[in-house]
Chains A and B, each alone.
Chain A
Amino acid sequence: ETGVTQSPTHLIKTRGQQVTLRCSSQSGHNTVSWYQQALGQGPQFIFQYYREEENGRGNFPPRFSGLQFPNYSSELNVNALELDDSALYLCASSVGLATQETQYFGPGTRLLVL
């Protein structure tokens, strides 16, 4: 177990709705990264938060947004859900921003958009 927790574990939404996913980072970690993993694929980087600021973003549209709180937990929000948003959403926490810091993943939230 990594100490990274995510909620909910599973979620079903319909197209056009909005969803909020939550992540609690491992104790002592101040950086949270979010990834989307489609079935049969590797995780794809969405964005990263460091000390409550977005520190970089992957190739995802603006309807994917996030927050990081003072306790370093984080939220991923997705507006106007599309069928292709169905995936496993993973958060990973790490210490600081050094390129050689290991990212530890949570169990993920499985989102199904109907």
Chain B
Amino acid sequence: GESVGLHLPTLSVQEGDNSIINCAYSNSASDYFIWYKQESGKGPQFIIDIRSNMDKRQGQRVTVLLNKTVKHLSLQIAATQPGDSAVYFCAENSGGSNYKLTFGKGTLLTVNP
């Protein structure tokens, strides 16, 4: 069935370092991918998205890479700050008739000062 999974459940980095969070997806028909950040006690916050006709998209301090050949997604955060500490989820829109998002389990990013 459809699934979105993350390679690393936890990631600890030093402030100022770059962070890379990885995600594998299994539904080759998915055409839209989103990264969300979820802080404790809050709902998921949109970070960046990418469509399947692209392989890279950049935002403010964040870059998402999409490799459709191996069905892999990554989120790169430049100059990681303590405020970036959160759980990060990748989600895919599997299309079809109900446009649901399928989420992975999440990666906990901890930024050490």
* A residues adjacent to B (C-beta < 8 A): 2, 4, 31, 33, 35, 40-45, 47-48, 55-58, 90, 92, 97-108
* Residues on the A chain within 8 Å of B96, using CB: 56
- 23 A-B pairs whose Cβ atoms sit less than 8 Å apart in the complex: A2-B45, A33-B100, A33-B101, A35-B101, A40-B105, A41-B105, A41-B106, A42-B4, A42-B106, A43-B101, A43-B103, A45-B101, A48-B98, A56-B97, A56-B98, A99-B32, A100-B31, A100-B93, A101-B99, A102-B46, A103-B34, A105-B45, A107-B43
Contacts of B99 in A (CB 8 A): 31, 33, 48, 55-56, 97-99, 101
Is B72 part of the contact surface with A, judged by Cβ < 8 Å?
no
Chain B contact-residue range equals 20 to 34
| CB nearest neighbor in B for A58 | B100
In whole angstroms, how far apart are the Cα atoms of A103 and B98 in the complex? 13
Q: Which residues of B contact A (CB under 8 A)?
A: 4, 31-32, 34, 36, 42-46, 49, 51, 89, 91, 93, 95-106
Please name the 3 residue pairs, one residue from A and one from B, whose CB atoms are nearest each other, closest first: A56-B98, A42-B103, A105-B43
Contacts of B98 in A (CB 8 A): 45, 47-48, 55-57
